[in-house]
Amino acid sequence: MDKLTRDFYDRDTIVVARELLGKHLVRVVDGVPTALRITETEAYIGRMDKACHAYGYKRTKRTETLFAPPGTAYIYLIYGMYHCLNFVTEGENEPAAVLLRAGVPVTGADALSMSVRRFHCTPSEMSSYQRKNFLNGPGKLCKALSLTKEQNGLSLLGDELYVVDAGERPSDIHISKRIGIDYAEEAVDFPWRFYYEP
DNA sequence: CTTCAGATGCTCT
DNA sequence: GAGCATCTGAAGA
């Protein structure tokens, strides 16, 4: 159960996105860890990707975090009420990141803390619809882990938010176009979404 | 199962 | 002022 180091993140973004599948994302609040298994990711690469906030090395207040060292959390508000969690990759001054889109709880205790944060109830009180759609979206994932823009810029090498290799190697990884980037012209067709059925 | 409208605030032009 | 890397509940098939 080794915590991933900077070397893991400081590589090609596509590779990092693929290899994050099956890893455990750990969020610690008040000393209590909650873990989920990562099941869906997307790559965003500013150098060449019109879907990336930092396309063409565009530097604004928001994209500043994408220029931080690999292994930094990039978290932003979307649609006025949800948050998206990303991991910065590929070297300093090379704005690129992996979006964390979905996961599943690792243990029963993890399921409990996340169901409380998401629905203010226990897992057994969740509807079957809620159970089926528990963590299958970036906004849901952030809510379940109590992540907001307050945590933007947090290092993944610290103790509040990090990823561990639990030795799981998912088979049958699916690849597709990315979700919700219809504005991105030719980049809408880039096959940079990775996921598997846990 | 599917579609659909509405919520809501921040960022950039 | 426009638009957004989304989610939910309600309604219909």
Tell whether A145 is covered by a domain.
yes
**Residue type for A38, please?**
I
Do the domain assignments include residue A115?
Answer: no
Residue A92 domain-assigned (yes or no): yes
Range of the domain at A166: 2-107+135-195
Q: pLDDT tens digits for A145-188?
A: 999 999 999 999 999 999 999 999 999 999 999 999 999 999 99
Q: For residue A120, is it within any domain? A: no
CATH number of the CATH domain containing A89: 3.10.300.10
Number of domains observed in the structure of chain A = 1
Is the shortest CB-to-strand distance from A53 to strand C under 7 Å? Answer: yes
Pairwise CA distance, residues A45 & A47, whole Å: 6
DSSP one-letter string for A73-88:
EEEEEETTTEEEEEEE
Q: Is residue A187 part of a domain?
A: yes
Cβ count near A30 (within 10 Å): 5
pLDDT-based confidence at A68, cuts 50/70/90? Answer: very high
Contact between the CB of A52 and strand C at under 7 Å = yes
Q: Which among A130, A101, A123 is positioned nearest to A38, based on CA atoms? A: A101
- Does residue A11 approach strand C to less than 7 Å at its CB? no
Residue A65's nearest CA partner among A38, A85, A80 is A85
